[in-house]
Homo-oligomer: A and B are copies of this chain.
Amino acid sequence: MQPDQEITLLLQKAGLRPTAQRLALARVLFDGSDKHVSAESLHEGVNAAGGRVSLATVYNTLHQFKAAGLLREVAIEGDRSFYDTNTSNHFHLYDVEEGTLLDVDHEQLKISGLPALPKGQVIDRVDVIVRVKRR
């Protein structure tokens, strides 16, 4: 768990006012361990931790944190969006049956032979999802 002062600073550097709700959410999200959350799971998490944050604010805050580069959205097929507190270069291991997500350090995995891009285009980033299942 990070001291509140650091979290406050984190928000201020992102140009976000350190309100009670954003602090509560940031405390849950940025406790030092990498996390993958949905709006719903974060909402439950923060309220379980004693916070009092409406679901609408959770959505707003996820967007703001994403825009500020504090979170990364992960593209998983399906109905809900996932956000990753690990914003560094890495890939994902996705358990198709469980619906769970694990990080894979990008040191381990290498990609070569990226195609020529349409002119005027540049790579934003490369998402790799290793889909695994039982058997």
**Which stretch of A5-13, A48-56, A71-79 is in the interface?**
A71-79
Given contacts A75-B77, A77-B73, A126-B128, contact A133 B113 (CB under 8 A): no
Q: Which of B95, B114, B121, B132 contacts A95 (CB 8 A)?
A: B121
Interface majority SS on A: helix, strand, loop or mixed? strand
CB distance from A65 to the nearest CB of B (A): 15
B113 touches A109 (CB 8 A): yes
Question: CA separation between A4 and B124, bound complex, in Å?
Answer: 42
B74 touches A93 (CB 8 A): no
Find the residue from A96, A104, A121, A129 having the highest chain B CB count within 10 A. Answer: A121
Other CB < 8 Å A-B pairs besides A118-B132, A120-B135, A126-B129, 11 of them? A73-B77, A75-B75, A75-B78, A77-B81, A108-B114, A109-B114, A109-B115, A112-B112, A121-B132, A121-B133, A124-B132
Interface residues of A (CB under 8 A from B): 73-78, 81, 93, 95-96, 104, 108-115, 117-118, 120-135
